[in-house]
Amino acid sequence: MPSLKDLRNRIASVKATQKITKAMQMVAAAKLRRAQEAAEAARPYSQRMGAVLANIAQNVSGDDAPKLMAGTGADNVHLLVVCTAERGLCGGFNSQIARLARDHARKLLAEGKTVKIVTVGRKGADILKREFGQLIIDHFDMREVKQVGFANADAIGRKIIALFNDGAFDICTLFYSEFKSVISQVPTPLQLIPASAGGETAADQAKGAIYEYEPDPSAILNDLIPRNISVQIFRALLENVAGEMGAKMSAMDNATRNAGDMINKLSITYNRQRQAQITKELIEIISGAEAL
């Protein structure tokens, strides 16, 4: 049984930890609002970009289709781009994204496909390195990035396109977590290459309208598809930041509550042990007095 001094030290230690978790919760709550606004603001642009590409893609077919949209015609080599956070203390946020990517990689390997992995964020790299360390071909470190910008996403997009042009893979899939609410972040896969045309959605939005393009649709797609890849990556990074802050806020709130419960239990144990010690001393005094 721990002594009274040990219990006092442990209560003080848990109280100090509680102050830290409470402060981290407040910081995450302050960052969450800005991150959520940025993520929600990026969604309409990325959706409209997809709709524009889909409308233009309806006018392109066969050999006129850009390589980024037509693909290589094979699906033997898959590139998985896994976006996670740089830091932990955010519950299961990082592990859920890594688990989705890991399950997808296992499925592809079981089918005899070749898998290559590009990681964005240290936590995802650490998790996947245990099982797929030999499959990771590149890593993007975002620890020095104070605020995610389009330049960061564009660098990742250019690297992916360069790998595709070199024939390094056939299909590229992006893994990230879509922000729903503070307590809900949904791990999501998104195919980047070959670029999806989304014909039915585009047809619904066009409502029978006829467009003329200048220059020709193929030239427009050659310019827009690389930008769309960067836009989708940028949206994924913003969604991840909002999801990370939401998950961290929830995790730190739970940690603060657990610390409070532990303090209460330790305080009860301390008081009981102190009372037992006082009672024992009183009994000894009384027994000594009666002996005299």
Q: What residues are labeled active site?
A: 90
Helix (H, G, I), strand (E, B) or coil at 80: strand
Burial environment of residue 15 by CB neighbours within 10 A (0 to 12, 13 to 18, 19 or more): middle
CA-based R_g, the chain, Å? 28
Burial environment of residue 93 by CB neighbours within 10 A (0 to 12, 13 to 18, 19 or more): buried
Question: Do 256 and 23 form a contact (C-beta atoms < 8 A)?
Answer: no
Give the integer Cα–Cα distance in Å for 104 and 198: 23
Question: Do 175 and 108 form a contact (C-beta atoms < 8 A)?
Answer: no
Which residue stretches of the chain are H helix?
4-57, 67-70, 93-110, 122-132, 150-165, 199-206, 217-291
